[in-house]
Amino acid sequence: MQFYFPDSQDQVDPSFDFITEQRSIHRVRQRDDRYAHEVIDPPPYDGLLISKPIVDGLPGTTAKYTEAQRSRLHRVGARRFFRLDHGATDLKIMGDCGAFTYVREHEPVYAVDEVLDYYEECGLDLGVAMDHLIFGYDATLDAKSASDVPADWRFRQGLTIELAAEFLRLHRVRRCRFEPMAVAHGWSPLSYAAAVTQLQNIGYSRIALGGMVPLKTPDILDSLKEVSVALDPAAQLHLLGVTRTAHVQDFAGFGVTSFDSTSPFRQAFMDEKDNYYTLDGSFVALRIPQVDGNTKLRRQVTAGLVDQRSARRLERECLRRLRSYDKDGTGVEATLDAMCEYAALLGTKKDRSTEYRRTLEAMPWKQCSCTVCREIGVEVIMFRGADRNRRRGFHNLAVFSKRLRRELDRADARS
């Protein structure tokens, strides 16, 4: 089972000093900043997924790449761009068109030729044909007639298959080097299976299942079960955006050989509670926003809602007490008090003291052996600025990859 991590240029700066919060004046982002696969050893994923809209942007969405990065990616190719050309790591690079970004359009926004150009120029290992998301799932439609299925759903499924046919035809004509993958969309177990059958008939042996992110796990499993009946023994399935490690062995049993997800990384700073992963659970990270670096906080100060001097004092107090607690293990209450006082000054409505206490008492960062936790210790648990938050995301990726291996080993042991 291979795990692909969707890239959005979230790197960390190795020169960042956690005490002074200064960086090297000689830092050059493109040259010095590090990807998760350069920080965590072994790399926490089997491959990277780069989406065309993340690279190029689209009307209404902003690209995560600067113009300079984009042209560098095209010029040197993805392997060198991600510094995977040393031969030390065998990561694959997959490309897709980020169907989610144009889901509201009537049709996908790219021409098939343009997508092939992009995959070829970047020198990708795998390229996903353009697809169009179906937002809806209704298993009861399997017992009804075709005319009961919303016309837009049928249109999107059909269009995705047509585009996949054209993609494969041009892939052959142009003798492209990357391995082609198509996306099956559906609204029920049988409709997913029907799409997979059609894509196999066209000539695909690698097929991604799209639109499953919002589905409940039983619905995913029902659909996979039906798909697996139609699947050629040599064909392989990819789950787009689905992370449910507890079911990874079931997925594998139905022919799934890869999936991708940003969740482990993004939860580090997007989730309400599950910010710091452990093998069997997670902890909330301790929110100590930067008076000088946090946009929301700066706005509150400017508007006169927060007193800057008090904020600075409490911010420093939180950092001091937390670091001191990390050293000698005393002062949980004092640390908690400082954090609650700071949160109150900032007008935070949510009371996180119970969750904070749990994190403090367990000191999970002391038990983790990943590079991030070994190098920066207690700083990893602070919800504070990109340099800590992204490193916590890298830590989560490392733990996630261990969870995944563990689930797969359990499956092996049983079989």
Residues annotated as catalytic are: 96, 260
- 291 versus 370: smaller Cβ distance to Zn ion: 370
- Nearest approach, Cβ of residue 399 and Zn ion (Å): 7
**Token reading at 116:** 């092939």
Residues 70-109 that bind Zn ion (CB under 5 A): none
- 163 versus 368: smaller Cβ distance to Zn ion: 368
Q: Which residue has the tokens 């999107």?
A: 156
Name the segment binding Zn ion (CB under 5 A); options: 77-85, 182-190, 214-222, 394-402.
Answer: 394-402
Q: Is 301 in the site for Zn ion (CB under 5 A)?
A: no
- Nearest approach, Cβ of residue 233 and Zn ion (Å): 40
- 336 versus 370: smaller Cβ distance to Zn ion: 370
CB 77 within 8 A of CB 110: no
Q: 95 pairs with which residues across the strands?
A: 50, 127
Name the segment binding Zn ion (CB under 5 A); options: 16-24, 163-171, 253-261, 390-398.
Answer: 390-398
- Residue-wise DSSP of 140-194: GGGGS-GGGS-HHHHHHHHHHHHHHHHHHHHHHHTT--SEEEEEE--SSHHHHHH
Distance from C-alpha of 174 to C-alpha of 185, rounded to nearest angstrom: 26
- 254 versus 276: smaller Cβ distance to Zn ion: 276
DSSP 3-state percent helix, strand, coil across the chain (nearest 5): 50, 10, 35
Write the binding mask 147 to 186 for Zn ion: x where contact by CB under 5 A, - elsewhere. Answer: ----------------------------------------
- 181 versus 368: smaller Cβ distance to Zn ion: 368
- Nearest approach, Cβ of residue 365 and Zn ion (Å): 7
Name the segment binding Zn ion (CB under 5 A); options: 258-266, 285-293, 305-313, 392-400.
Answer: 392-400
- Nearest approach, Cβ of residue 372 and Zn ion (Å): 5
- Nearest approach, Cβ of residue 61 and Zn ion (Å): 32
Q: Which residue has the tokens 């179906």?
A: 134
Residues 324-383 that bind Zn ion (CB under 5 A): 368, 370, 373
**Quick one: how far is CA 377 from the chain centroid?**
24
**Token reading at 201:** 């008939």
Query: Of the candidates 52, 185, 395, 403, which one interacts with Zn ion according to CB under 5 A?
Result: 395
- Closest to 400 measured CA to CA, from 246, 295, 180: 246
Q: 281 pairs with which residues across the strands?
A: 278
Distance from C-alpha of 379 to C-alpha of 319, rounded to nearest angstrom: 9
Binding site for Zn ion (CB under 5 A): 368, 370, 373, 395
